[in-house]
Structure formats: C-alpha cells, structure tokens
Structure 1
Amino acid sequence: MSFSQEVWQRNLTLYQKTLALPFNQQLAQGTLSREAFSHYVIQDAHYLLAYGRALAVCAAKAFEADDVIQFAEAAKIAIVVERSLHDGFMQDFGISKEQFEQTPLTLACHHYTSYLTSTAWSESYPVVLASLLPCFWIYAEVGKDIVDNSAPNNPYQAWVDTYSGEEFHTAVRNVIATVDRVAARVDADTLEKMHAAYTHAARLEWLFWDSAFEQRQWPGLDE
C-alpha cells in the first residue's frame, strides 16, 4: 500500500467530517452567508501567502531537480492566486484593500500558517511534503463534492468553478505521486512522522473551514 493510500484511510473519518462542515455544505447549496464567505476569502488570502512561502522552502529542500521545479512553481501559483483574490472575489464582495490589510489572521489561520511555515523550516523534506499535502488533496476532494452538488443559480458559482479546473487536479495528482515516491524511500520513523504531519495539517484544514463558518477571531479575546 502506498503512503497516500494508507494516509487517506487513516484519516478518512476526518475527511468525511470536513466534507460535512456547514461551510462546505452551504457553499454548495448557495445558502452560505455573505459575511461567512467574505471572512473566508480574507483569511484564505492571508493563508495563501504563508502557504506559498512554505512551498518555496519545500522546493529548496527537495531531493530531485524536478521536485524543485514542481514546488517552486506551486509556490508561484499560490501567490498568483492570492493576488487574484484581491482583483476578483474581494472586489465582487465589496472587500476593500484597506479592510483586508486591517483584518488580522484569525486563531485558526494563525495556527495553520504557523504550523506549515515552522514545519517547512525545521523538518526534513519528506515530513514537509506530508504537511503540505492536505491543502492540495483535501481541498481538491471537497471541491469535487461541491462542484457535483452545487445548486442551480448558486451565488457562489464563480468560486465553485475554481474547484473544477483540470490543471489544478493534475497538479494535485502530481504532488501525490511525488509524496509517494519520496515516502517509499524513507525509514519507518520518518514515515510515522509523515503520517503525523499529514494528520495535524488535515485537522487544521477542518478547523480553518469551521472557523470561517463561525467567523471566529480569537475566542474569548474578541472585543
């Protein structure tokens, strides 16, 4: 069994809980509040900048030249998408540049981005790969479900359509293949570290969407 097959089975229940989150279900139904969606878009833009940095460090640690290219390109794409949010969905939903800049990272976003960047700097290449995989893979799988179940005249259809691009899904499959190739060469201790890194990041994926739906900032400390 490949690493990707095993890690997916180990975390299947967590994925199913992520799929069932009110944010994802209501996004597909078109009933998600504008406030929750705007909250998500702002935090997603913050997240993508940090994700791009983590991918860049991953590229620097890569074992093979092709992997350097793969993750350097992924880092570039993350930043390009972050910028496109400002020119697209933020404008469409009335989110100004000033509003974005004045909105700090939520606890969930801060936790997730801090985990990814600290892992990128401090851990070995295989473990870094595993920590970055959930954002690619879970996002893609949740996206497939949302696309398949999107309601007619969904006010969020333009966002839903971003999930369905074949170029993105090809990139996800290529990342999974790279992770499996690297995982096949590591020792047992490193393999378990990879599993732990994936699970932690997958939990933070769940937390990010849940936080967006509830529009949580810093629980107990919000003014």
Structure 2
Amino acid sequence: MAVHPFNEELATGTLSRERFQFYLVQDARYLVGFGRALAAAAAKAPEVDDVAFLAGAARDAIVIEREMHESYFKWFRLSETDLADIETSPTCVAYSSFLLATAHIGSYGELLAALLPCFWVYQSVGAEILTRQSPENDNPYRPWIDTYAGDEFEATVRTFRAAIDRAADAAGEATREKMLTAFTRACEYEWMFWDSAYRQEGWPTAVF
C-alpha cells in the first residue's frame, strides 16, 4: 500500500514548511472539537474509570498537544495574525462536525468508535515513521514523531481500545454495526485530513 506523500515526506523531513504549517493550524482547530467529543464520551461512560480516562484524554488533547503546536508556531515565527490568515479547511470542518454530531446523537459505543482512529492511526503512523529515523537524520518534524510514537501515547491507545472493546461487548449487533461504520468513516477522515493539508485545501468559490 502506498504511503501518502504527506507522511512520506514528514518521515524523511522533506515536507515543506508551508504544508506542515497548514496542517498544524488545522490540527489545532480540530483538537478543540475532538476534546469536546472526548468530554461528551466521558459524560456517557458507564464505568467510573472510563469517565476519568476520557476526561483526562480530553484535557490532554487541548493542553498537551497544543503545547507541541505552539512550540512549532514559535519556531516558524508565526504570529496570531499569520495563523488567523489560514482559513479552516473544509475537511477540518467536516471531521470536527462529524465527531460533534456523533457526540450529540450517537451512542456511547458509536462515539468511542468515531474517536478511536485519531488515537490509533496516529500511534501506528508515528511508530512506523520512528523506525525510519536515525541519530544522523536531523528531521525537523522529530518532536511530532516522538509525541505519537512514544510509550505514553501507546499506553493511551491501549486503554482506549480496551474501553471500546468493553462497549462493543455490552452492545447489541445493531450498535456494533453502527460502531464499525463510525470507525470506518473516521479512518477515512484521517486520510482526508492529511491529504487536505498536503494540498493546502481551500474553499471553492461558488458561482450561481
């Protein structure tokens, strides 16, 4: 299976600064919706341990990952005005809206399934990219790689997968089908998110 050029170039450190900047801005905005959806999942969780885990994950999405974004923004010397000039992409709006809609009208299991790809896909991609790094490879995107390939993030993914397995075990067949649909759609959005960043996707000008 061919690797998307965004991830291939990120792995080699050749991804253009402009594409990565665009991605970071979209990701920072997406994570606000992602954090809200995680908070909604915490409110729906039937087990106390899952309430604590999901609430903590919501905080981490807003606080910890934002710190990584802001460190890159400072490195790139991007001002608040520069960031505001980058419009939120259609894919970012669509993915965030999908999660928030699932949080409002979906079951607990559906919501977990919709949230899982953002954890699992990033951990998988980060871990694969890390195997291709070396001390001699001065990759400017190494902080991003290390964030998602690290042991702490892997442990978070394992905990999340255990929570979703419990939700699936407790659900009926109809709900499990909806969970699969939500998971698949979110995986598609993950691919679209990187693709839209690589293309620096904008809004089409409508002509009526």
Where on the TM-score scale, by shorter chain, does this alignment land: which range? over 0.9
Q: Work out whether 1:221 is the aligned partner of 2:205.
A: yes
Deviates more, 1:92-101 or 1:136-145: 92-101
Letter matched to residue 167 of structure 2? V
Residue equivalent to 1:5: none
Give the RMSD, CA atoms, in angstroms: 1.5
Aligned mates of 1:162, 1:127 — CA distance in 2: 27
Unaligned runs of 5+ in 1: 1-15
Could you tell me whether the CA contact under 8 Å between 1:130 and 1:179 is conserved in 2? yes
| Residues 30 and 92, structure 2, Cα contact 8 Å, conserved in 1 | yes
CA displacement at 1:94 relative to structure 2: 2.0
Match for residue 47 of structure 2? 64
Deviation at 1:86, TM superposition (A): 4.8
Kindly state the Cα deviation for residue 217 of structure 1 after the two structures are TM-superposed.
Answer: 1.6
Partner Cα separation in structure 2 for residue 124 and residue 91 of structure 1 = 40
| Alpha-carbon distance between aligned partners in 1 of 2:66 and 2:180, rounded to the nearest angstrom | 32
CA offset at residue 153 of structure 1?
Answer: 1.5
1:173 correspondence with 2:158: yes
Q: Give 1:157 deviation, angstroms.
A: 1.9
- For 2:12 and 2:76, locate their aligned partners in 1 and report how far apart those are by CA, in whole Å: 18
Alignment equivalent of 1:77, drawn from 38, 57, 60: 60
Q: Does 1:182 align with 2:167?
A: yes
Taking the aligned partners of 1:40 and 1:150, their CA distance within structure 2 comes to 21
1:198 is aligned to 2:149? no
Q: Distance in 2 between matches of 1:205 and 1:86?
A: 18
Scaled by the length of structure 2, the TM-score of the pair is 0.93
Q: What residue identity is the alignment partner of 1:182? A: A
Cα distance in 2 for partners of 1:155, 1:87 equals 15
Distance in 1, matches of 2:79 and 2:142, equals 21
CA contact under 8 A between 1:147 and 1:163: conserved in structure 2?
Answer: no
Task: Give unpaired runs (5+ residues) of structure 2.
Answer: none
What corresponds to 1:24 in structure 2? Answer: 7
Letter in 2 for 1:49: V
Query: 2:7 is paired with a residue of what secondary structure?
Result: helix
List structure 1 runs of 4+ shifted beyond 3 angstroms: none
* Letter aligned with residue 139 of structure 2: N
Q: 1:112 to 1:213 in 2, by over 3 A?
A: same
The Cα shift of 1:129 comes to 0.6
Residues 97-108 of structure 1 aligned to structure 2 (within 5 Å):
97-108=80-91
Q: Is the 8 A contact 2:24 2:69 kept in 1?
A: no
TM-score, normalised relative to structure 1? 0.87
Identity of aligned residues (%): 46
Equivalent in the alignment of 2:193: 208
* 2-structure distance, mates of 1:167, 1:92: 25
Partner of 1:49: 32
Distance 1:158 1:164 in 2: 10
State the distance in 2 between where 1:179 and 1:134 align.
12
Aligned partner of 1:39 in structure 2 is: 22
